[in-house]
Structure 1
Amino acid sequence: MSGDSVPAQAPLVVNGWSIYAHPLFLDQLEGLTLEVEARKARDPKTWRKKNSTKRLAAIFKLVTEAIPADPGAAAFRQGGTLGDPRKGRNSSSSIGCSTASTAMRRSSWWHG
């Protein structure tokens, strides 16, 4: 290990799950936190009712409670965005078919 490397921080552990966060997520979270802190300083009476405050609270609750409670819950699955693993990928009707209908393009693997 070189002297220039930064040691990795220990992950947050909730319900026995190690929670790691992507640097881009942390950047967005930091920006939102700064926005909420600025709003709190600017308007101490109504800052809790603002959208940014509610979003930050919801994200915090998801990361520290909901997701670690059941990471495999259906609510956290990608749905059909990655394709249906039971469907064949080499269907001749979808290969190179650039004039397919919108419904066909949504349900097929298109190799245009």
Structure 2
Amino acid sequence: MAQFRFMDLEIWKESIALNDQLFNLADAFTDAKSYRVAEQLRSASLSISNNIAEGSGSFSSKDFANFLNIARRSVFETANISVVAHRKNFIDDETFNQIIEDLDILSRKITNFRKAILKNN
């Protein structure tokens, strides 16, 4: 079976795991008023892993670093949507705190990986 470079990256694996959690959470938003927030949460969280994967196919470290920057910005977008969902009581306190902690850790890992690939060139 063919394997793509991104499939070996810890940050991609973590972003996919977080995406699974956030998709499941968004699926639980049953109120019609929460539909748009759920869609935004799915989209923003999917953008994290998408940009890591897309960037891994770059021919240059500088180009890959740009995609990692976009992925990191998507982490921040996901955090913002999570804040909105929490404020609207779509997400309970415990779940919200865990999401924010996981996003913070992922953001730091993406930043450190980005610095490492730029430093090695």
- TM-score greater than 0.5 by the shorter chain: no
What's the TM-score once normalised by structure 1's chain length?
0.38
Greater gyration radius: 1
Between Structure 1 and Structure 2, the one with more helix by share is 2
Higher strand share: 1
